């Protein structure tokens, strides 16, 4: 049985833990608090990921380390260098494969379909920060210090999507209640949306596939939808009224950003929705051997999980 160490317990990390635990794998979850979720029987440890030596001690014997940490938007530039350094040091010390959960921000391109061989040329601060994360992992992999890969997703959705997600509760709650959905981004351009379980399965596959190491891969993702089309699919599946979506005007968004660092950083990448933001996953499907969940299943399962969670409250 392989030993898996998951760094972070947000939406991506928690989904990954569920997948691994469901397979009967040995799993350790690392977070600052070390507190397990209610009813969890998975091992947890309190470790600062930026402390590579402490992380290496906690991860001793690991076969794969999954880097699912995600600082708040406004702290990416300040926090990511130490976090990736700690994760890489731990991978080098333990001999574990490091699989980092990435995104598409580093490409810095809009309108063209994104493929894994596109250079990371983002000039916006968060995209540049994420590009630097991969460049450092790739550099140390090339030097032979460790084995590393990155799995990149579009904006995620699914059963454990949280308030940080564009298509999480702040989208579904008003939509299913028949209320106006106020978005901070445009809603009528094609966009790649990644289903969280697909993200988790792709990360597991990347950690176990030697051919994937040393390169970055896109999560196999269903066909792109505009935000409005996505809302229509959820509304139809739930029997909710026709969606009413009203983006916040750019001027109002900028004003909110003056008092909210999070909103300010969201506004800085709002152009991801003002032009086509689509990725290709053909190469990763061949290498990782995973496929995207069809939209009909992703929508139905997300709604079922939401209903189940509300029934237990």
* Alpha carbon distance 118, 20 (integer Å): 31
Burial (CB count within 10 angstroms: exposed 0-12, middle 13-18, buried 19+), residue 264: middle
Let me know: does 165 contact 156? Beta carbons within 8 Å: yes
Do the bridges between strand 245-247 and strand 181-183 make them parallel or antiparallel, or are there none, so unpaired? parallel
Q: What is the pLDDT of residues 278-297, one digit of tens each?
A: 999 999 999 999 999 999 99
For 148, residues 6+ apart whose C-beta sits below 8 A from its C-beta are 88, 91, 97, 98, 99, 100, 137, 138, 140, 141, 213, 214
Sites in the chain below the pLDDT cut of 70: 38-39, 110, 312-313
Q: Is residue 284 part of a domain?
A: yes
Six-digit token string for 284: 């990763």
Q: Is residue 286 part of a domain?
A: yes
Of 140, 146, 134, residue with least CA distance to 62: 146
Let me know: does 223 contact 295? Beta carbons within 8 Å: yes
Q: Is residue 61 part of a domain?
A: yes
Q: For the chain, what is the domain count?
A: 1
Let me know: does 230 contact 194? Beta carbons within 8 Å: no
Let me know: does 150 contact 216? Beta carbons within 8 Å: yes
Q: What is the Cα Rg of the chain in Å?
A: 19
Q: Is residue 238 part of a domain?
A: no
Q: Provide φ and ψ at 236, rounded to 5°.
A: -65, -45
Average pLDDT of the chain is 94
What is the predicted pLDDT for the residue at 38? 61
* Alpha carbon distance 288, 201 (integer Å): 9
What is the predicted pLDDT for the residue at 239? 98
What is the predicted pLDDT for the residue at 313? 54
The residue segments making up the domain with residue 113 are 3-226+273-311
Q: Is 152 helix (H, G, I), strand (E, B) or coil?
A: strand
Domain with residue 209: its CATH number is 3.40.50.720
Q: Is 148 helix (H, G, I), strand (E, B) or coil?
A: strand
Q: Is residue 160 part of a domain?
A: yes
What is the predicted pLDDT for the residue at 139? 98
What is the predicted pLDDT for the residue at 29? 97
């Amino acid at each position: 049985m392989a030993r898996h160490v998951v760094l972070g317990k947000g939406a991506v990390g928690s989904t990954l833990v569920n997948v691994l635990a469901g397979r009967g794998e040995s799993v350790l979850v690392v977070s600052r608090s070390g507190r397990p979720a209610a009813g969890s029987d998975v091992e947890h440890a309190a470790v600062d990921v930026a402390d590579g030596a402490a992380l290496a001690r906690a991860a001793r014997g690991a076969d794969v380390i999954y880097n699912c940490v995600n600082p708040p938007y406004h702290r990416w530039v300040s926090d990511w260098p130490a976090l990736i350094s700690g994760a890489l040091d731990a991978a080098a010390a333990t001999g574990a494969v490091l699989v980092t959960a990435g995104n598409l921000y580093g490409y810095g391109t809009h309108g063209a379909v994104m493929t894994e061989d596109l250079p990371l040329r983002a000039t916006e601060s968060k995209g540049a920060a994420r590009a630097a994360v991969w460049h450092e992992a790739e550099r140390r992999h090339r030097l032979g210090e460790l084995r590393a890969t990155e799995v990149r997703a579009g904006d995620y959705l699914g059963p454990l999507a949280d308030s940080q997600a564009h298509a999480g509760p702040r989208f579904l709650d008003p939509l299913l209640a028949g209320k106006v959905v106020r978005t901070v981004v445009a809603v009528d351009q094609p966009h790649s949306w990644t289903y969280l379980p697909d993200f988790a399965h792709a990360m597991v596959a990347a950690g176990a596939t030697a051919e994937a190491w040393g390169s970055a891969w896109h999560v196999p993702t269903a066909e792109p939808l505009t935000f409005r089309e996505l809302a229509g699919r959820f509304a139809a599946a739930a029997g909710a009224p026709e969606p009413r979506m009203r983006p916040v005007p750019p001027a109002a968004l900028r004003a909110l950003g003056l008092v909210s660092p999070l909103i300010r950083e969201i506004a800085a990448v709002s152009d991801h929705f003002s032009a086509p933001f689509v990725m290709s996953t053909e190469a990763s499907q061949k290498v990782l051997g995973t496929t995207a969940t069809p939209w009909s299943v992703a929508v139905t399962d997300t709604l079922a999980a939401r209903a189940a969670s509300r029934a237990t409250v």
